[in-house]
Structure 1
Amino acid sequence: MVAIHTSSDAKIREEICVVGASLYARGYTVGSAGNISARLDDGWLITPTEACLGRLDPADIARVDLDGNAISGGRPSKTWALHRGIYARNADTRGIVHTHSTHLVALTLAGVWSETDVLPPITPYYVMKVGHVPLIRYRRPGDPEVAEQIAALADKVRGVLLERLGPVVWERSVSQASYALEELEETARLWLMSSPRPEPLDEASLEELRTVFGARW
């Protein structure tokens, strides 16, 4: 089948490739780990299974129709059901990014702050750009139960942290999902490198961020 790409489709494919290359170049993901998807009006785009995010070809990005059928490009990532569940539960989501970011995976190995908030609110931008991030306990990659757990949270938070696997973050575009994921990873790095651990922002500071910036905390 010959794939026909609209200008909007082509632009989003390019955005996925640019974001993937940027994340890969900075060590947010390695090898063929991680995946990126985007919502279209008539389906979705998702990186192919076993693809390296640093070397994506726009033409190879899989296109999936509204019934979940792959219609062009490579074979969709094995985490496709996870992405689809998020899109089904959150109408505002237009992009999803999943990586195996070093400091976030290390956080799950060392021990998260709590299961409902893997990190405390230690910086204003973490509060504003990311918000609450719950932990999803380990199950094998692609496990359908994980997809169901995440879908149930899709309209309540911007992302989750998979134990031993890394973050899944969703936003209004692929780029915005990437920005939130980067803020999440940077906060994990700050938390892990700080000794003693910093105190969270106090309630007055959090309330100010809610009032002034609409922070979801």
Structure 2
Amino acid sequence: MNRATREAAEELCAAGHRAVELGLSPGSSGNVSARVDGLVLMSPTGVPLDRLEPDGLSVVAADGTPVSGPPPSKELPLHRSMYDRLPEAGAVVHLHSPHATAASCLPPWSHASALPPITPYLVMRVGRVPLVPYAAPGSTRLAENLSALPGRFAAALLANHGSLAAAADPAAALEGAVELEEASRIAVSLHGREYSVLAPEDVKELTARYGTTWDL
């Protein structure tokens, strides 16, 4: 590995370890990837995120062709679809964290976002979070369902499955996943009750200030 690739690998492993420490990646669930120098580094299939090591990552070309290391997670097509949507993204984190998974089983708040703008923080740190229609984990169809969603977004809930977050680097992508989990926890706790959401003008102010997206 060259220096940039080594640094990306170390950052990716650190994000995976942190996800487990936070209780967001039970068992061997979840997968993470980073994009650097035309390559995608990814957690291998079946390896828990707290056991990731820089020299044990899967390395594939941008088109998915294996380069080195063990076989990547079956969710490689999903990650590649997110990179195609966000050319500036340097990392993608997919988790089965409990509250995000619970929220992914509920009807979406709107056609644009599965989660409502209850507090400013989801709007500020992540932006809108559409619900990707269900397809089997690891399937090409799941990646296609993500690709088919309109508009711009950096995170999503996968119906009956979990969360997906992309950002400039692994640490930032994990931060997005953490914010998704917290917003999902609040949404799930309020399900079936009356609650208020931020006014459209307040959402617009936050997205303009922080560079996120809410409207299609």
Report if aligned partners of 2:127, 2:207 keep a CA contact under 8 Å in 1. no
Contact 2:77 2:139 survives alignment (8 Å)? no
User: 2: distance between equivalents of 1:183 and 1:197?
Assistant: 22
Q: Could you say what secondary structure the match of 1:15 adopts?
A: helix
**1:208 pairs with one of 185, 191, 205:** 205
TM-score, normalization: structure 2? Answer: 0.91
Counterpart of 1:146 (choices 136, 142, 145) is: 142
Cα distance in 1 for partners of 2:207, 2:127 equals 11
Q: C-alpha offsets along residues 124-177 of structure 1, whole Å, 9 cap, x if unaligned?
A: 111011111111222211111111121344971111211121011111111111
- In the other structure, the counterpart of 1:81 is 77
Q: Which residue among 29, 50, 55 is the counterpart of 2:51?
A: 55
1:101 aligns with 2:97: yes
1:6 is matched by which residue type in structure 2? N
TM-score, length-scaled by structure 1: 0.90
Alpha-carbon distance change, 53 to 203 in structure 1, aligned in 2, over 3 angstroms: same
Equivalent residue in structure 2 for 1:184, among 152, 164, 180: 180
Whole-angstrom distance in 2 between the partners of 1:71 and 1:110: 39
Q: Which runs of 4+ in 1 moved over 4 A?
A: none
Task: Give the alignment of 1:1-217 within 5 angstroms.
Answer: 5-153=1-149, 156-194=152-190, 196-217=193-214
Q: Tell me by how many angstroms 1:100 deviates.
A: 0.3
Q: Aligned partner of 1:105: which letter?
A: T
CA–CA distance in 2 between the matches of 1:39 and 1:214?
Answer: 22
- Give SS of 2:122's match: helix
- CA shift digits 1:12-70 (9 cap, x unpaired): 11111111111111111111111001111121101101110111121111011234221
Identical aligned residues as a percent? 36
CA distance in 2, matches of 1:8, 1:188: 34
Cα displacement (A) at 1:119: 0.9
- How many residues were matched structurally? 213
Contact 1:98 1:166 in 2 (8 A): yes
Stretch of structure 1 that moved more, 194-203 or 49-58:
194-203
State whether residues 96 and 174 of structure 1, in contact with CA within 8 Å, keep that contact through their aligned partners in structure 2.
yes
SS at match of 1:109: coil
CA drift at 1:210: 3.3
Aligned with 1:39: secondary structure? strand
